[in-house]
Amino acid sequence: MEISNIKNPNFLKKLDKQELEDLCEEIRTFIIDNVSETGGHLASNLGAVELTVALHYVFNSPYDKFIFDVGHQSYTHKILTGRASEFGTLRQLGGISGYQKRCESEHDPFEAGHTSTSIAAALGFAYARDLNKEKYDCLAIIGDGSLTGGLAFEALNNIENLKSKVIIILNDNEMSISRNVGGLSKFLKGIRMSSSYDLAKKSYKEILSLTKIGTKIYNTSSKAKDEFKKKINSNIFTNLDIDYLGPIDGHNIDELIKAFGKARDSKNSILVHVITKKGKGYLPAEENSSTWHGVGHFDKVNGTLPKSNKPSISEIVSNTVHEFMEKDEDIVTITPAMIGGSKLEKIFADFPNRSIDTGITESFATTLACAISLNNKKVFLPIYSSFLQRAYDNINHDIARMNAHVVIGIDRAGIVGEDGDTHHGIFDISFLNSIPNLVIAMGKDNEEIRNLLYTGFYKQDRPFCIRYERASMEFSKTPFREIKVGTWEYLQKIEDCKNTIVSYGTDVTKIYEEFKDKNVNIVNARYIKPIDKNILKELIATNQKIYVYETNIKTNGLGTNILEYFNYKEAPNKVKLTGIDNSYVKHGNVELLKKQIKLDIDFIKDDIIEYFNLEK
């Protein structure tokens, strides 16, 4: 079958078991072929092929609502719903998204990119369906990793409350990005292994008919039957009034179809526990699903990923914290499920007693970090900028208010590229800027990043946020020195020059490369908060014309901080702010995205030349 020709999932209903199995193999090959070119979430998608085909066989999308948690594993769904021919554009600028998108298809009723929202969404759809007196099924397809998020638990708790039927498909591959953690994961493992489960799998009629009393129960009210069913199959889900069915072999089409049929016919909300193998069908991904969770383009024949010759900034940060942890037993590192992404492998291997993976729990991890730090500890808490949005209240209400010594590593700050609008780290400055006690810093190179970390851990004792982007740079073990909180530096200061560019991070490095020896002053505003009032006073006194360059949301950014101070000082300076307007940035290559929103260095260079009336 030509996968690219699939227009919708209707054809599936006519296929027999063998044809369905063949289709799954073809889809797998199609995914590997395409993702090896475009990059994407390979291992998660390979594990969910049969599961998704069986769901589309049993249910009727778009009539029934398919809500994939995160959406990173929805490629088979995209293929079956008419988007296979566009797979060459996956995650590229102007191409199809790597997640569900309402604008892409009527088969995508909801959108995500962050985890643990699917059950809440399915429940909301189901509640509205019942209010509207309509009849269709609302499905949340959620991984065991995403089920560790508090939001998923809150939704489970509300199923009994809202009383609308939802179907939860738990795709359990024992993995988050790294191996899944925590009591829930242990519990799921227990279910998979337990023999009592086998008992529960047999029909309760079979069990009841073994004894006289049982037969009597079976012949009496359905309530008694329900009670008995619950007893033999009692677990966390059934105790929340959600029926439980499973575990089901997630690569056996027949078993899946039968189980999903039962779920469709059930009156009650139900969770179908499906066991899958992450990376299924592609050996390198099966053997190392963490590495192959999300990848760039790769060599599909040899199963090799391209190597960067420079370390990522995440690695530079974690290497530096590792140096501190070697000598300082009071540092604890906490990650909400991002050991690999935040490059914490060595910290976790060398300091297992002071490293915690809390699962996908940005909110919990932040309050936990706060409490640990209040007990004579310093906590390193790296979280991706966009996921930090989940922890806003915990940073404000806990860490900042109690002035706790937590060094928050804001990883993937700025535009991240192919993951798109749900993942760009462009809001953190804006939402943290208004919180008292917080320091927000961003270093321009290896040495400054290391010195900022040193300052955050050893030269102050309050919350310290250090942002760093998704990029690579040279690493070297430079000696540490303090960078006084709230101090900026001139990268270039020219006598009598009245033009000043202010920027931070690698943006200021790029500006310096473009404008060194030109008639502009260049200020590295490595502390976005607090700002350097001495330098600002100097800029006012010499009436500098100022250009602020940020690749984050403009509202409440560094530029706003400068304007606020100038307003307070009734400064006469002309100031131009550049940054991202109050809008979402799409997915695609970082440089192309920056060009699209007119924030790439070439555009900025011309803009600065024009603004300051400089010679080209």
Ligand X SMILES: Cc1ncc(C[n+]2csc(CCOP(=O)(O)OP(=O)(O)O)c2C)c(N)n1
Contact call for residue 73 and ligand X (CB under 6 A): yes
* 12-20, 169-177, 585-593, 606-614 -> range binding ligand X (CB under 6 A): 169-177
Which residue lies nearer to ligand X by CB, 278 or 510? 278
Pure H helices in 436-577: 446-458, 505-515, 533-541, 558-568
CB of 466: closest distance to ligand X in angstroms?
A: 19
**Binds ligand X by CB under 6 A, chosen from 46, 93, 166, 177:** 177
Which residue lies nearer to ligand X by CB, 145 or 425? 145
**Binds ligand X by CB under 6 A, chosen from 67, 285, 337, 539:** 337
CB of 419: closest distance to ligand X in angstroms?
A: 9
By Cβ distance, which residue is nearest to ligand X?
143
Looking at residue 239, its amino acid is N
Q: Distance (Å, rounded) from C-alpha 1 to C-alpha 530?
A: 61
Tell me which of 111, 362, 418, 448 is the catalytic residue: 362
The 3-state DSSP class for residue 596 equals helix
Which residue lies nearer to ligand X by CB, 147 or 520? 147
Contact call for residue 390 and ligand X (CB under 6 A): yes
**Binds ligand X by CB under 6 A, chosen from 28, 65, 72, 412:** 72
Which residue lies nearer to ligand X by CB, 44 or 92? 44
Taking alpha carbons only, the member of 490, 489, 404, 502 closest to residue 451 is: 489
Which residue lies nearer to ligand X by CB, 176 or 509? 176
Looking at residue 136, its amino acid is Y
Name 564's Cβ contacts closer than 8 Å, sequence gap at least 6.
none
Which residue lies nearer to ligand X by CB, 44 or 355? 44
Contact call for residue 469 and ligand X (CB under 6 A): no
Judge whether 378 counts as a catalytic residue: no
Cis amide linkage into residue 62, ω under 30° from 0: yes
DSSP letter assigned to residue 88: G
| Binding residues among 2-41 for ligand X as defined by CB under 6 A | none
Residue with tokens 């090799």: 304
Contact call for residue 114 and ligand X (CB under 6 A): yes
Contact call for residue 430 and ligand X (CB under 6 A): no
Judge whether 362 counts as a catalytic residue: yes
Calculate the alpha carbon distances from 190 to 27, 73, 196, 506 in Å.
32, 25, 10, 48
x/- mask, ligand X, residues 297-336, rule CB under 6 A, reads ----------------------------------------
* 15-23, 96-104, 168-176, 546-554 -> range binding ligand X (CB under 6 A): 168-176
Taking alpha carbons only, the member of 435, 434, 429, 436 closest to residue 466 is: 429
**Binds ligand X by CB under 6 A, chosen from 76, 173, 500, 552:** 173
Contact call for residue 406 and ligand X (CB under 6 A): no
Which residue lies nearer to ligand X by CB, 72 or 424? 72
Contact call for residue 360 and ligand X (CB under 6 A): yes
CB of 69: closest distance to ligand X in angstroms?
A: 6
CB of 358: closest distance to ligand X in angstroms?
A: 11
Name 274's Cβ contacts closer than 8 Å, sequence gap at least 6.
51, 169, 170, 171, 172, 246, 247, 248, 249, 250, 256, 259
Q: How many CB atoms lie within 10 A of CB 614?
A: 14
- Between CA 364 and CA 164, with CA 175 as vertex, the angle to 5 degrees is 65
Name 461's Cβ contacts closer than 8 Å, sequence gap at least 6.
405
Q: How many CB atoms lie within 10 A of CB 186?
A: 10
Q: Distance (Å, rounded) from C-alpha 453 to C-alpha 483?
A: 9
Judge whether 278 counts as a catalytic residue: yes
Tell me which of 101, 129, 354, 390 is the catalytic residue: 390
Name 143's Cβ contacts closer than 8 Å, sequence gap at least 6.
44, 69, 70, 73, 115, 170, 171, 172, 173, 176
Taking alpha carbons only, the member of 310, 318, 319, 269 closest to residue 158 is: 269
Q: Distance (Å, rounded) from C-alpha 249 to C-alpha 255?
A: 7
**Binds ligand X by CB under 6 A, chosen from 324, 387, 427, 468:** 387
Contact call for residue 361 and ligand X (CB under 6 A): no
CB of 325: closest distance to ligand X in angstroms?
A: 23
366, 278, 120, 68 alpha-carbon torsion, rounded to 10°: 130
| Binding residues among 265-294 for ligand X as defined by CB under 6 A | 278, 293
Which residue lies nearer to ligand X by CB, 276 or 560? 276
Total number of residues that touch ligand X (CB under 6 A): 23
CB of 123: closest distance to ligand X in angstroms?
A: 18
Q: Are 23 and 53 in contact (CB under 8 A)?
A: yes
Q: Are 398 and 373 in contact (CB under 8 A)?
A: no
Tell me which of 278, 354, 450, 510 is the catalytic residue: 278
The 3-state DSSP class for residue 18 equals helix
* 70-78, 207-215, 295-303, 436-444 -> range binding ligand X (CB under 6 A): 70-78
Contact call for residue 385 and ligand X (CB under 6 A): no
| Binding residues among 125-144 for ligand X as defined by CB under 6 A | 143-144
> DSSP string of 24-75?
HHHHHHHHHHHHHHH-B-HHHHHHTHHHHHHHHHHS-TTTSEEEESSSTT-H
| Binding residues among 446-465 for ligand X as defined by CB under 6 A | none
CB of 57: closest distance to ligand X in angstroms?
A: 20
Contact call for residue 175 and ligand X (CB under 6 A): yes
Q: Distance (Å, rounded) from C-alpha 445 to C-alpha 455?
A: 15
CB of 111: closest distance to ligand X in angstroms?
A: 13
Contact call for residue 473 and ligand X (CB under 6 A): no
* Catalytic site positions: 278, 362, 390
The residues of the shown chain that bind ligand X, judged by CB under 6 A, are 44, 47, 70, 72-73, 114-115, 143-146, 171, 173, 175-177, 278, 293, 337, 360, 362, 387, 390
